[in-house]
Structure 1
Amino acid sequence: MVAGEASGDLLAGLLLGGLKARWPGLESHGIGGPRMAEHGFQAWWPHTKLAVRGYTEVLLRLRELLRIRREMGDRVLQERPDAFIGVDAPDFNLGLETRLKAQGVKTIHFVGPSVWAWRSDRILKIGQAVDHILCLFPFEPALYAKHGIGATYVGHPLADTIPMEVPRDAARAALGLAPGDTVVALLPGSRGGEIKYIAPKLLAAAELMVKQRPGLKFVLPVVPGLRKLVEPLVPRLAPTAGVVLLDGRSHEALAACDVTLIASGTATLEAALFKRPMVITYTIHYLEWLRLRRLQLQPWIGLPNILFNEFVVPELIQQKATPEALAQGAFDWLDQPARAAALAERFAGLHRELRRNTAQAATDAIEKVLAA
């Protein structure tokens, strides 16, 4: 298995739980993180090695990444496992899967690359790389079937993990927050580049908000290993906001908050499953943004908006992502409780649709691939 960054480690850990239940003697190894290790996964490299974003970061580390992929392929081909499962990280995994499939290793990709949003040209490469795709969203298998690629909708594992009824009071108690506090969760992302570009704007927005409404509470979950990047920013950009840094604990932060300012990515789906109003944001290097904007196939980048095919929550991207706009977006949700409640109802329906006992459904699909 290969899982990149924190979100991939989370998804792979949930999948491994189902695989171990079906095959108690299962052995797994490759590239992964702590959630996978909880199920006996042996990491040859840590998942943080793949936590890069954008062409600039990739180019700076290209030689290292290519070396790791080559050595990973060599080792897999030497050990000849029953299957290789690539978890997300398509830029790394699809090339590796192509090599392995050509040498007779069964290849499965968990999390269908989002050809419906970006990089439609990738569909031919996917067909060459994988024997089967495990899709998180119900509309995806039909898209892959048009190109002769086997795919199964397995639901989203986070929908199984996150409770339908949000444990708001318990989360607040665990974080030392009072039931009557107005709480804003700041989620700048799980990569170093995201901290560089996004965290400063979220912290500056928090400072603006607390100046207008003293008494607001702010929590900022930090992915392990990135705290040293975030800590110096807080006193410089949000000196009076009282931002509390949390070591991980993003689910508690989302359960406890009234609104979240959040970087586009898997975390936005987590926020939707916690039925929380949000303002989605993202900022990258300007040249990288110009490239991606040319590739974008639809007007949304946030998962909740993509899944609903409309802007159910605001997106503030690139030059629109000013601290002032972010602060106002959060205030708009706080000042319109009826609108926030209606959004929560829509998110509850999405939660029910995505809840499919993903670990079992994925394991069933994997068993069929192995038997083919």
Structure 2
Amino acid sequence: MTIEAATRQFALVAGEASGDLLAGLLLDGLQARWPDLKAVGIGGPQMLSRGFETWWPQEKLAVRGYIEVLRHYAEIAGIRRQLRARLIDERPDIFIGVDAPDFNLDLEAGLRASGIKTAHFVCPSIWAWRPERVVKLRAAADHVLCIFPFEPELLAKHGIDATYVGHPLAKVIPMVPDRAGARAALGLDADAAVVALLPGSRRSEVRHIAPRFFAAAALMRKVRPSLQFIVPVLPTLRAEVEQLLQASGMAGQVMLLHGQSHAALAACDVTLIASGTATLEAALFKRPMVISYHMNSLTWNLIMRHKQLQPWVGLPNILAGEFLVPEVLQDRATPQALAKATLDWLDAPEKIHALQQRFCAMHTELLRDTPTLCADAIQKVLEG
């Protein structure tokens, strides 16, 4: 019987919202190749909408930061032990860990040692920080699906098989975003300048970053009273965000969106944004940005300051190999500094035009048929 005709069971784990999006597109390719595929493990709404069977809520794994992970370590480690035991007992055709390397790499290594084929979707950022992960990755994955074009060559130097599959977001986000349409849909003034504030999608991020962003917005409003501010908010965080706005004096002066981060990026003139995948989304929307981040100081000192390999943390800057957009991080992320850096973009139309040209080239390079390329790579692993 050929692989195409066989009934397959694939196991996947996606630990947070960005991984859920990636895994959803991965499943599109896998289900097109194997229509009777059964997919199980841990996933979110994008995966569930494609018939995925999740054994634990994805939110159990959506914890970020050294100190924050320590608080939840026992529960997360227990889930991983139970999942490993169940998968070894059920013997799926392949296990695919989608991002979440702190959870998935150890799981993959255990499954691979038991004879289960493994793949990892999204190369850990060994080129940016924590280079020791390359050793773990080599032990964990039979194959790595890479979302950036320079990664397979880097992994080959370490004896790791990999395939560049493009970045799924490059296909989701239009090459020419409809700013006017997004503003009309959100009920924004078509002519006034719009600033999108994106302080992150995790509770810990919102607590550390949102107060600084809202204080910066208050300063910007004093300089430019006509500015419109929008904030995409997950429903589970809305009450907390409303409290932070009240504390900052910005309640009623900021439009809270029900999620809709893509609509916010399409509509805005500039975004003040937390470092992470959202910065790449902003680049694909061709929007100027100020990248910021703030976390528990012990986490920052233990991990970021001592394990960072490049001078950039924002994905647009890493891909460009230069500071295309400013990064205002940790102790430097004062409301005054954030407000100034954001307002500077509104006074630099020529600089914005040049930036948009760079972002268009970046978008083109990342645009590939990701679902099909993923399925091709997984089929080779299965046949290997």
Using the TM superposition, give the Cα deviation of residue 178 of structure 1 relative to its aligned residue in structure 2, in angstroms. Answer: 2.5
Using the TM superposition, give the Cα deviation of residue 317 of structure 1 relative to its aligned residue in structure 2, in angstroms. Answer: 0.4
For 1:154 and 1:13, the matched residues in 2 are separated by 14
Match for residue 354 of structure 1 among 352, 357, 366: 366
Aligned residue in 1 for 2:234: 223
For 1:77 and 1:227, the matched residues in 2 are separated by 40
For 1:191 and 1:48, the matched residues in 2 are separated by 10
| Residue 68 of structure 2 is aligned to residue 71 of structure 1 | no
For 1:357 and 1:68, the matched residues in 2 are separated by 33
Identity, % of aligned positions: 62
Match for residue 253 of structure 1 among 260, 264, 285: 264
Aligned residue in 1 for 2:41: 30
For 1:144 and 1:363, the matched residues in 2 are separated by 20
| Residue 174 of structure 2 is aligned to residue 163 of structure 1 | yes
Moved over 4 A (4+): none
Aligned residue in 1 for 2:7: none
* Structure 1 unaligned blocks of 5 or more: none
Equivalent positions of 1:1-372 (< 5 A) are 1-239=12-250, 242-291=253-302, 292-372=304-384
For 1:282 and 1:52, the matched residues in 2 are separated by 16
Using the TM superposition, give the Cα deviation of residue 179 of structure 1 relative to its aligned residue in structure 2, in angstroms. Answer: 1.8
Aligned residue in 1 for 2:4: none
For 1:223 and 1:115, the matched residues in 2 are separated by 30
SS at match of 1:226: helix
Aligned length: 372
Using the TM superposition, give the Cα deviation of residue 223 of structure 1 relative to its aligned residue in structure 2, in angstroms. Answer: 2.5
For 1:224 and 1:51, the matched residues in 2 are separated by 16
Tell whether the 8 Å contact from 1:94 to 1:129 is kept in structure 2 after alignment. Answer: yes
Using the TM superposition, give the Cα deviation of residue 153 of structure 1 relative to its aligned residue in structure 2, in angstroms. Answer: 0.6
Amino acid in structure 2 at the alignment position of 1:67: G
TM-score by length of 1: 0.98
SS at match of 1:12: helix
For 1:224 and 1:114, the matched residues in 2 are separated by 30
For 1:14 and 1:168, the matched residues in 2 are separated by 25
Tell whether the 8 Å contact from 2:146 to 2:163 is kept in structure 1 after alignment. Answer: yes
Using the TM superposition, give the Cα deviation of residue 240 of structure 1 relative to its aligned residue in structure 2, in angstroms. Answer: 5.8
SS at match of 1:244: strand
For 1:237 and 1:356, the matched residues in 2 are separated by 43
Q: Deviations over 1:343-366 (max 9, x none)?
A: 011000000000011111111111
For 2:378 and 2:214, the matched residues in 1 are separated by 43
Q: Deviations over 1:69-119 (max 9, x none)?
A: 011111211221111111110000000000000111111100000100111
SS at match of 1:221: strand
For 1:7 and 1:223, the matched residues in 2 are separated by 13
Amino acid in structure 1 at the alignment position of 2:240: L
Amino acid in structure 1 at the alignment position of 2:200: G
TM-score by length of 2: 0.95
Amino acid in structure 2 at the alignment position of 1:337: P
The structure-2 alpha-carbon separation of the partners of 1:212 and 1:240, relative to structure 1 and needing over 3 Å to count, comes to farther
For 1:239 and 1:116, the matched residues in 2 are separated by 39
RMSD: 1.1
Tell whether the 8 Å contact from 2:198 to 2:272 is kept in structure 1 after alignment. Answer: yes
Using the TM superposition, give the Cα deviation of residue 241 of structure 1 relative to its aligned residue in structure 2, in angstroms. Answer: 6.4
Using the TM superposition, give the Cα deviation of residue 264 of structure 1 relative to its aligned residue in structure 2, in angstroms. Answer: 0.3
Question: Bigger shift: 360-369 or 270-279?
Answer: 360-369
Using the TM superposition, give the Cα deviation of residue 229 of structure 1 relative to its aligned residue in structure 2, in angstroms. Answer: 2.2
Q: Deviations over 1:143-183 (max 9, x none)?
A: 11011100011110000111111111111111111321211
SS at match of 2:236: coil
For 1:230 and 1:358, the matched residues in 2 are separated by 35
Tell whether the 8 Å contact from 2:194 to 2:268 is kept in structure 1 after alignment. Answer: yes
For 1:284 and 1:240, the matched residues in 2 are separated by 24
Tell whether the 8 Å contact from 2:245 to 2:251 is kept in structure 1 after alignment. Answer: no
Using the TM superposition, give the Cα deviation of residue 35 of structure 1 relative to its aligned residue in structure 2, in angstroms. Answer: 1.1
